[in-house]
Amino acid sequence: MIKAKPQQALSFYDSVQAYFDKAAVHTGLDQGLLDQIKVCNAVYRMKFPVKINGGVQVIEAYRVQHSHHRSPTKGGIRYSKHVNQEEVMALATLMTFKCAIVDVPFGGAKGGVAITPWDYNEEQLEKITRRYTAELIKRNFIGPSIDVPAPDYGTGEREMAWIYDTYRTFNGEEIDAAGCVTGKPVTQQGIRGRKEATGRGVYYGIREAVNSAEDMKKVGLEPGLEGKTMVIQGLGNVGSFAGKISQDEGGAKIIGIGEVEGAIYKPDGIDIHDLIRFRKETGSILNYPGATNFSKADRGKVIEFECDILVPAALENEITVNNVDKVKAKIIAEAANGPITSEAANILVNKGVLILPDLYLNAGGVTVSYFEWLKNLSHMRFGRMEKRFNQNIMAEMVNVIEEKTGKKITDIQKQTLVRGADEIDLVRSGLEETMISAYHQIRDIMVRNPSIKDLRTAAFVNAINKISSDYLNLGIFP
């Protein structure tokens, strides 16, 4: 018997373009305007030398600005050996629509450096990061009013601090220099809550979706996140925070985890905090007590685990036409960018699977990056002006209640009632409001238009309409 060859899956960029085209027909907009919204406005491909281990290594890197309908452009920087121009263009394109969906006033952008970060030590990574930043500065591809990078796969607070410091070296007189990059350490003009932001946004989006009794009935589930089984592919920053918050605040039951070294399955539940400690001690999630192991060669089986909610939080094109029939989840929450090809997504939608799309669900990162950018431009920590005032007002109110009712409130209750909001409280509140509002905007579009069958198409329609308004109302598109 001759085995059928696996079908060639669409590339990440082709999938994004297909999603756009599918949504565009529902907007009624002029084709020329749609073409302008669809294309990448500026693509900068660079190669630069860096001294590594006594020799010279040529590094390939990119920065793509997809849309200038709003300024500055905004998007993370990815360090991965798989980085190429098409991937960065796809990510930049998604960023444009992502920003529009959550009403963040940026155009979309993305950066990538084609290296495997763990192949380099800290000093070498710093050299590469600073040289990449210098290249962006020379070409006017970075600045608080031009283009504002952020962390992505393979980068974090450390790299953003290096970018900020390099930018300040070149632009020492610029008072708003801190706004040139977000995702910085709090000690370097960052904002509390940025590190957890994407994962927390994933949690808020999942929670809002599963609270809809009508939508849960369609997938055969009861409303609410409590007790629902969850499988997470990818235990990086996004996956780990999404898992921890879903478990701690939502009561989700995590039964499967996939990582680069393999996958584990434990139907009676995995304490994700304990698993993260275990991996830190042993260097692997494998052999976690009570769990079934799947080797590195079989790590892809994590998407086949039976569960209520599958959270792909790794890289793009993980679910394709070649494995989509093995997916058993009732809800797929796209914490990663582009984890499902457009062909596979169509199959899943036709099967009745609820997909929470990436351009909505992982927008928590850019939302809190927006808050950080505002903080940098205002030169003031959130909560500084109002925290004590609100605390004093609430204390007076508690005193009046005690006086009028004759009942004493305990010290612990009083501390809870009168506490003023810190920066982290305001960031989380703003993120929660953003994710809830954006979800209902998208869902309402789908409900009002019977020809739209999925949330992704509704999200693209929402984003395209908002961007077109900028072009038409602001006279950008003559």
The catalytic site residues sit at: 110
**By the 8 A CB rule, do 62 and 88 touch?**
yes
Pick the closest to residue 7 from 324, 357, 355, 368 (CA basis).
324
Cα(188)–Cα(403) distance, integer angstroms: 46
DSSP state of 308: S
Query: How many other β-carbons are positioned within 10 Å of the β-carbon of residue 350?
Result: 10
| DSSP character string of 155-206 | --HHHHHHHHHHHHHH-TT-TTGGGG--S--GGGT--TTTTTHHHHHHHHHH
Place of tokens 């020329």: 32
**For residue 232, what are the β-bridge partners?**
257, 311
Contacts of 406 (CB under 8 A, 6+ apart): none
Alpha helical stretches, state H, 211-271: 213-218, 237-248
- Sequence-distant (6+) residues with CB within 8 A of 350 are none
- Residue 46's beta-bridge partner residues? 61
